Amino acid sequence: MNRVILQKGRERSLLRRHPWIFSGAVNHLEGAPQPGETVEVSSADGRFLGRGAYSPISQIRVRIWTFDEQEEIGQSFFQRRLENARARREALQIPRQTNAFRLVSAEADGLPGLIVDRYGDFLVCQFLSVGVVYWQETILEQLQTFPGVRGIYERSDVEVRKKEGLQPCRGLLWGEEPPELIEIEEHGLKFLVDVKHGHKTGFYLDQRVNRQLVSSCSADAEVLNCFAYTGGFGLAALQGKASHVTNVEDVAGLLSLIDKNVQLNGIAEHRCTNVKADVFQLLRQYAEAGRTFDLIILDPPKFAEAKSHLIRASRGYKDINRLAFKLLRPGGLLFTFSCSGLMNVELFQKIVADGAIDAGCDVQMLQWLGQSPDHPVKLHIPESLYLKGLIGVKVA
């Protein structure tokens, strides 16, 4: 067995069951493991700490598979972990709410670097670390046995793979090729999803619970849906009897897909306006023109990809929240989010509060928001809580 021995005192995070070992924590390596091959991890005094996948290039040198000395890494291990992940979603009755959900959520499901999303009869996978690439065939063999799966497609076309020495990959892995657009259902709404070219694996599955909340708050409201993507929040608001929804997106092809989704759900076209624009610029224009809304959704893309981007990202979040508060009518609701993993909850609350102060208004926070339960959070892995949000009401 290849072995990684840590520097003295660098085992604390592993004792707290955090699965990442950074390169600076490694004292020396025994053996010559291939990228992704399993290594045993020991403390400086020789204590067993875990078994994980070795990555010679990444700053995360080892991603732990197991902390159990009796648990070997092989076919039965992956069969057990994947089946457990599927069973947890079944126990939460998620497949009764939707036919599109996250089946495997990487470290949170004990499979670092592996994302598996289900869209109807198709699975869409991201293999984001050398460990899951090393075991890819074993993982695929198990996924093929899941009920009703017709095809498995890969969407590992993301920059993060380069940190592991891997090139972006996309294409069919097994079974039938998915159609250009897959129709999914969620809480009575239908959506067309482009799993081959869309953001992430095609749809923001992590916002499912929050879309339902927006629907419940939208009766008779005039709604502004910023960074609309394919219209998920906007359609939820229309389902909740919003009087009108304005979707803002800067990609023409996405606006076309919003139109298709509106038609698919039999919603009258006059209840929805789609605007191709930069959100920051449009919010300023609306503020200058005196436009106001009853409910605003801010679900921007990730502003901070690295710690060095956090200050700039904070300014961006503050700016759009300040503008949104200016556009809210008294008593109006703001649903605001950050999907930047580097943005912690306390900092996000401060940024939104500062935005309200600069907008000259008093705001009550009604509720914290987070990711849907098919994107679980492991309590000892803070990074697994990546989606932060809150509902604010403009008091004055």
**What residues are annotated to the active site?**
339
Residue whose tokens read 């995360």:
60
Cα–chain-centroid distance for residue 114?
A: 13
Cβ pair 214, 225 in contact under 8 A: no
**Euclidean distance between CA atoms 101 and 229, whole angstroms:** 18
Characterize 292-312 residue by residue with b for buried, 16 or more Cβ atoms within 10 angstroms of its Cβ, and e for exposed.
bbbbbbbbbeebbeeeeebee
Do the Cβ atoms of 53 and 129 come closer than 8 Å? yes
The pairing of beta strand 293-298 with beta strand 222-226 = parallel
Class of residue 365 by CB neighbours under 10 A (exposed 0-12, middle 13-18, buried 19+): middle
Asked whether 170 and 196 are in contact (CB, 8 A), the reply is: yes
d(C-alpha 299, C-alpha 164), whole Å: 29
